[in-house]
Structure 1
């Protein structure tokens, strides 16, 4: 593993598992002229967070798909079983993710809807101000992530069939509060986590993946796993990994055992080396089904709990009731 300053240097892109997120990430710097313009139309950039809290499941995303900007958030209240969702789309250029993460901010603000991330060096902040609708209550959140106590970064640059991927993921202890209607959920940094998922990827027109993640604490340190099954090129690094106290250790050949006809039935997720062997039990799921001619999306994210074993290097953890998500994407983008 190595730690370049930029993902692309002197017109050459770095590929592999990186020791940390490069200070600057712009996949387009590999190209010039018409090729750069063409690649820009294929580039998808997003930053999302999955929140780990005992009383709720919640995820959010800010995305620049180039032909539009968008944002979504959902909260599942475990006490009453309700799923609350808000989303907005916006013209191209509304959501802009910076090449440099530290010191940057990104937001989508529309009438009655605002989500903002601020990646300050000492604390990352999430602000949420969303008005109530006929389908969902208002959401208001002020959350702070603690970079000094975060996991090592899972930073991977990889060639894909028909494209290329860059992703940066990490676990952050989180504090603050999220108000859902009249209920307030308080986050504690010794118990709760935010899982960052940052992508800057030129995805193939026909894109598929099955993915999951979870996080917890071991001896006061964030640990967890990120795992994926997607079409890969031989020899290219996967984004699957285990967060330990010291590193984001690689995983390969992750197998998802689940029934597509019954996605809320338990899933078995295992790695070939045996370091990850868990059962995911969904409590519910968020779905997106779009059919727009040449563009289409069949997507769901299931939220629930993981149980099983996770080898974090120093020892093997026996997991019970660890919150996380699994999802599947099938799209023409």
Structure 2
């Protein structure tokens, strides 16, 4: 029997001692209060990360910080042809809490940054999300609309440090519509996000141990004419009472237990296999693009392989219905961090 704890009413991320209240919910029910954190302020990490993709391009918006360093910027890449384009990006020194990220992923909010030719706004209003970024020779504007009333929220503790925690929310299966325009080689280029373009929100707040590792995968598409999506992850913290593993189909949430990522770390381009421990999920990712990011500066040493490709396999809903997943384009990633 699962030991996961499900919440159906609002609950605080941290108790009066600054220790996490672990569990999960399929709505944004937890309340995050950075004033309740009982640790050094330079250990706090907060971010809002959006990804918009279709069969050709991927656009990412990042607004966040790890207290002593922050980032506001975009990334655009053509993952089918392996081309990454220059986009507005700003590294911030010692931002701490100055970015004023919201305490909830679902409340109406507006994040804005404008300096030295770079502008970004991430606005949530009534469940609709408007993303905008601009810089020299670049502009992106995307609207994200929910196709399901469900999301997945988790609070995960870390056994090695009682006041460490990870509060996270994934909003999946958001229909994306908009454009990105940029200059390259003296040419004006433009890509429209329209049919079968999807957006996700990765909303994170927490205090992590210095060294950590994670596996994450998220995807969305259409099966039998209905929006289908998944969020899968493992490797970080004590997930015995809350995992982020879930399926979405036709507006409903279908919770999964632990999931394994089977891959060849000496060859990330080899097929990945993602499967759960209860026989409800078996997906194979055939990668075509390795979006590798590395950061090594002073004590910070991070590396992430985000693999884009096609997913094929089966996913079983709560009522036993088996869905065939065929050539769904998305990603899985493996990250190791010292930060």
Partner of 2:3: none
1:166 pairs with 2:167 = yes
Partner of 2:333: 327
1:97 to 98, 101, 112: 101
Q: Return closer, same or farther for 1:106/1:23 CA change in 2, 3 Å cut-off.
A: farther
Partner of 2:178: 176
State the alpha-carbon separation in 2 of the partners of residues 55 and 243 from structure 1.
23
Root mean square deviation of aligned Cα: 2.5
Q: Is the 8 A contact 2:289 2:307 kept in 1?
A: yes
Q: Displacement of 1:99 after TM fit?
A: 1.0
Q: Is the 8 A contact 1:173 1:222 kept in 2?
A: no
State the alpha-carbon separation in 1 of the partners of residues 270 and 250 from structure 2.
32
State the alpha-carbon separation in 2 of the partners of residues 301 and 7 from structure 1.
32
Q: TM-score, normalised by structure 2?
A: 0.84
Q: Is the 8 A contact 2:216 2:332 kept in 1?
A: yes
2:233 to 212, 225, 228: 228
State the alpha-carbon separation in 2 of the partners of residues 42 and 249 from structure 1.
34
Partner of 2:140: 141
1:259 pairs with 2:264 = yes
Residues 52-111 of structure 1 show CA distances to partners (whole Å, capped at 9, x for unaligned) of 312213333211211122034332225654222543212314533111332111234332
Extract unaligned runs of 5+ from structure 1: 132-137
State the alpha-carbon separation in 1 of the partners of residues 285 and 242 from structure 2.
25
Residues 160-213 of structure 1 show CA distances to partners (whole Å, capped at 9, x for unaligned) of 23321111111211212222433322223x622101110112111111111111
Q: Displacement of 1:156 after TM fit?
A: 0.8
Partner of 2:85: 84
Q: Return closer, same or farther for 1:20/1:266 CA change in 2, 3 Å cut-off.
A: same
Q: Displacement of 1:157 after TM fit?
A: 1.1
Q: Displacement of 1:23 after TM fit?
A: 6.9
Deviating above 4 A after TM superposition, structure 1's stretches of 4 or more consecutive aligned residues are none
Partner of 2:316: 311
2:218 to 213, 217, 241: 213
Partner of 1:20: 27
Partner of 2:50: 49
1:11 to 16, 21, 33: 16
Q: TM-score, normalised by structure 1?
A: 0.86
